[in-house]
Amino acid sequence: MYHAEVPDMSLGMSKIAWQSSVKYLGLTLISGPCFKVDIDVTKRNFVAICNTILNSSVYQLDLVRLHLSESYCMPLLQYCLGAVTFSNSQLRELNSCWNMVYRRMFGFHRW
């Protein structure tokens, strides 16, 4: 992470505290010399919603469960993909989140 001496910031007579990250439109932006997005919050929200859907729809058809996951979970991963450039490792992490849905629904193993 980028740590440089930051001068005191102020707006009028009010001091502004320096933050290492800020949440904007559902994304967590990380401060530094280049534009970075933290996807950990997105992954946690995705897993929480997927677990809720998959646990409460155990006795439904697989096609119904897949449709529910695609309708409610997939948009979390796809949010702002067109506007933000993610690193290859971040894209792999997001892809593995979606693969987790298939593994849980159809009983596949990670290997």
Give which of 36, 38, 101, 108 is closest to 74, Cα–Cα: 101
pLDDT in tens, 38-77: 888 889 999 999 999 999 998 999 999 999 999 999 998 8
Question: Would you list the domain boundaries of the chain?
Answer: 1-37, 39-111
pTM greater than the 0.85 cutoff = no
Token readout for 22 is: 């800020």
Token readout for 96 is: 């593995």
pLDDT in tens, 10-32: 888 888 888 888 888 878 888 88
